[in-house]
Chains A and B, each alone.
Chain A
């Protein structure tokens, strides 16, 4: 008898004696790292409709519609204008979770959320609009604290 045969038997027997690592997902929630990249959430109050995310997206899965509003300025100055977000949607059937939109957003309006349970029965239902993206924002963990001896944040200086 070759030693390899006994070794095979030993390995399988030892594995059988150990507890299986399987987590029974729907009954038992998985232990995810807090910064897991499950879905991209939108903090729409920060969005300026700069369109950088939509343009950087490799597979064009971000839809943004907006209009311009003007507000009369005091005195004889020219009226102020600002962009107002009408629609912000991400098509998760196209999204490849590269996170470039999160990286590129200059105003911190896009965040990774650990939420991952948004499977749908229809591919059209995977396009999520701004209200759903805004709800996911609540699941984003707060930013990490600065290190003890680091410089204070720039906006507080």
Chain B
């Protein structure tokens, strides 16, 4: 019974929190650019804008290009979206408050998140469109480069906590990890952004050069799934960063799950902020950032974590 309730709660969170992040992006981005953003849908400051968008997407025709690989093309949005739902099930929101408490939770989360990226590569390949193919190849290149620093940074947190269980990592967190694990936190967060293809790492969907990358041929509900996957991805990356590097539910006064939510939304704000403030990285700059900076920093952090663990004898 408890499992069913927990899974229902995870599903509800999966369906609502990405929309809240999306709406926050509308408003925050607008105000950062001196605009107001949506003001009409729903009456009060356009709160229902994304609902209206969803209704619009649902009304549109579901087209498949004649030359497309039909089955793969139709499957791709699901492959992009579902992994994030699965990851959310292993993320703890409070002490003992997790839908599925896996002992290999971190390994599971990173492995499943990698599958989400496959959805974009499938979309790029199956669309039979040169822009989609270019975008898909860029997605693949980005996955290969950024998966490594991401895993290394996550490994540092796991090593520091001495467990791969996400609840265990969040529970073992001490405030001085903020300093000790800071490089890993930055590397993990940036690599997570790159894996989501969020600006400034949105080379694969660079609209000014390759239309919309792998999603060029998509419309209607399937396109909406890709958009939803992006925002669900923000939620997942932010909550993983929270659990691994910001102590998850730990914090004074407020109940644990509120602290988790506060930290997740603060990180989501940073994600939006980066999008507004920074221009897109060129493809070679993107690769350079991963291989010349993030991987060595993550390796150095891993060595530092190991040395500290051995010296303190834990």
Contacts and interface: CB of A to CB of B under 8 A. Distances in A.
B278 interface: yes
A136 to B, nearest CB: 31
Contact of A13 (B33, B35, B273, B278): B273
Contact of B33 (A8, A9, A15, A24): A15
Interface string A7-23: 01101110110101110
A120 interface: no
B52 interface: no
A131 B109 CA distance: 73
A16 B39 contact: no
A20 B35 contact: yes
B43 interface: no
Contacts, number: 33
B276 to A, nearest CB: 5
Interface of A is mostly: helix
Contacts of B273: 9, 12-13
Nearest to B30: A20
Contacts of B36: 20, 22, 24
Contacts of B35: 20, 22
Contact of B32 (A5, A15, A21, A24): A15
**Interface-central residue, A9, A11, A12, A20, by most chain B CB under 10 Å:** A12
A49 to B, nearest CB: 48
16 contacts: A8-B277, A8-B278, A9-B273, A9-B277, A12-B32, A12-B33, A12-B276, A12-B277, A13-B32, A13-B273, A15-B31, A16-B31, A16-B32, A20-B35, A22-B35, A24-B39
Interface of A: 5, 8-9, 11-13, 15-16, 18, 20-22, 24
Interface of B: 28, 30-36, 39, 273, 276-278
